[in-house]
């Protein structure tokens, strides 16, 4: 009888935390910290597989609850294990609208905790078979390197929130590390941000996170970026903050400036995001991307039927690793474009994004990553590097990376010290605008 594949002997769930800048989005200001959950699987062959997913106690508890379903299972049955977890997971009734109004408190219901387990399983399977993870996805490895984009943010002055422990890097020898903790709320400063990022990482494409200032002001920033990088692809993402009328008015003059616009508008007047976005596309000749109105297959069906989007940013933490590559295959066959959305993350997710990007067919758009804002807080001994705007896929089995246990333990201690483990973008906003409350149709600094 043929020997079976290795068996999972142990599953650990390790909640961790890292530091962030006072980045501004529609939902408010990033807190001084962000949280994530790590999954570490060990098998009977002596290999270790790792995965990373969004943070918070809800997600951590969901992962811990399924440990009995994972331990003792043969590696070759990972799909059956994931299916059992997925079908048995309880979903909030509130998740039906995905994140169309960007209610950060509901993000935990959109993210599927089990995809961190999938990542760790695929890492182990790649090690068992002696191939990179990307060879196990879709039609296998499609490219040797994956393009990333420079994710630009307006950044507020952390000194206005003196009681919050934002990281200070003024003494760093790295120009980007110094700059990323400073206030950057003007077009000139955002262009400086982009120039610094290009110098360090070689980015050719940039995305500006909007939903912060008046739409006209944000478009002036986009124009300044295009002037500074005439050959670059400039995109903007206001997270659906603009009304349909406003989105059309703002975006029509930008048809020769923007490469695409991400979630320019959202639900209004009784119409869904998908219906409103379809009307926007009828009025503006710009490709439309989304990570808000197509976060599962049912939503994507309606978005595609209405021809509401051109680019689906299918984050593996929403879709699963096989799911996001399946989406990439479908979009390529239909003449549409695939990409991946990002949230604050450590370098484990960066390595996983690169593997997924390497397996996506066709011509994906440059992938999002927040990692540049966390660069230096590595949990790996061999963190991926972005050079000339690309990540090179390592010629190693599985994810091709190794945990730095000392750093993991340090990040776990930080997690344990925090007053809250859930994301709260309203906390720091109280220092900028007392009594501030989230409004999905008002930029966060417009009150």
Q: Would you name the residues annotated as active-site residues?
A: 209, 341
Q: 39-78 burial string, b = 16+ CB within 10 Å, else e?
A: bbbbbeeebbbbbbbbbbebbbebbeebeebbeebebebb
Task: Look up tokens 């995109």; give the residue.
Answer: 235
Q: Helix 114-129 vs helix 321-333: angle between axes, to the nearest 10 degrees?
A: 90
Following CA atoms 172, 178, 180, 181 in sequence, which dihedral angle do they give, to the nearest 10 degrees?
90
Contacts of 391 (CB under 8 A, 6+ apart): 145, 146, 148, 350, 354, 357, 384, 385
Q: Inter-axis angle of helices 114-129 and 57-65, to 10 degrees?
A: 50
For the beta carbon of residue 372, count every other beta carbon within 10 angstroms: 18
List all residues 6 or more positions away from 257 whose beta carbon is below 8 Å from its beta carbon: 222, 223, 226, 234
The closest alpha carbon to 160, from 446, 447, 445, 411, belongs to 445
Question: What residues have CB less than 8 Å from 362, skipping those under 6 apart?
Answer: 328, 331, 332, 337, 338
Longest dimension (CA), the chain: 70
- The CA angle 149-106-158, to the nearest 5 degrees, is 60
Name the 3-class secondary structure at 24.
Answer: strand
How far apart (Å, rounded) are the C-alpha atoms in residues 193 and 431?
24
């Amino acid at each position: 009888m043929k020997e079976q594949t290795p068996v999972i002997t142990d599953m650990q769930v390790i909640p961790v935390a890292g530091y962030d800048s006072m980045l501004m989005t529609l939902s408010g200001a990033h807190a001084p910290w962000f949280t994530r959950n790590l999954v570490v699987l060990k098998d009977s062959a002596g290999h270790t597989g790792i995965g990373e997913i969004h943070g918070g106690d809800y997600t951590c508890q969901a992962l811990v609850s399924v440990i009995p379903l994972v331990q003792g299972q043969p590696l070759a049955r990972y799909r059956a294990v994931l299916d059992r977890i997925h079908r048995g997971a309880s979903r909030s009734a509130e998740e039906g609208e995905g994140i169309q109004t960007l209610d950060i408190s509901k993000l935990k219901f959109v993210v599927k905790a089990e995809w961190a387990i999938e990542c760790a399983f695929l890492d182990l399977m790649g090690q068992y078979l002696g191939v990179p993870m990307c060879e196990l996805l879709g039609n296998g490895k499609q490219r040797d390197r994956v393009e990333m984009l420079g994710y630009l943010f307006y950044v507020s002055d952390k000194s206005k929130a003196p009681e919050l422990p934002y990281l200070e890097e003024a003494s760093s020898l790295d120009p980007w590390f110094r700059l990323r903790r400073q206030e950057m709320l003007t077009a000139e400063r955002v262009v400086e941000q982009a120039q610094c990022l290009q110098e360090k990482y070689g980015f050719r494409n940039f995305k500006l996170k909007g939903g912060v200032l008046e739409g006209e002001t944000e478009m002036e920033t986009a124009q300044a970026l295009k002037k500074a990088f005439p050959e670059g692809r400039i995109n903007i993402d206001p997270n659906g903050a603009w009304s349909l009328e406003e989105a059309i008015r703002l975006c029509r003059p930008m048809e020769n400036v923007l490469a695409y616009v991400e979630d320019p508008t959202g639900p209004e007047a009784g119409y869904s995001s998908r219906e409103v976005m379809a009307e926007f596309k009828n009025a503006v000749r710009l490709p439309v991307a989304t990570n808000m109105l197509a976060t599962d297959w049912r939503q994507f069906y309606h978005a595609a039927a209405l021809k509401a989007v051109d680019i689906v940013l299918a984050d593996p933490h929403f879709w699963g690793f096989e799911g996001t590559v399946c989406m990439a295959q479908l979009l390529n066959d239909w003449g549409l474009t695939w990409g991946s959305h990002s949230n604050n993350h450590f370098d484990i997710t960066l390595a996983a994004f690169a593997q997924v990007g390497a397996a996506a067919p066709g011509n994906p758009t440059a992938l999002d990553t927040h990692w540049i804002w966390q660069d230096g807080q590595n949990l790996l001994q061999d963190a991926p590097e972005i050079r000339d705007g690309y990540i090179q896929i390592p010629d190693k089995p599985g994810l091709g990376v190794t945990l730095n246990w000392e750093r993991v333990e340090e990040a776990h201690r930080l997690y344990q010290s925090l007053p809250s483990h859930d994301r709260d973008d309203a906390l720091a906003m109280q220092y900028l605008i007392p009594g501030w409350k989230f409004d999905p149709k008002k930029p966060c600094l417009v009150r």
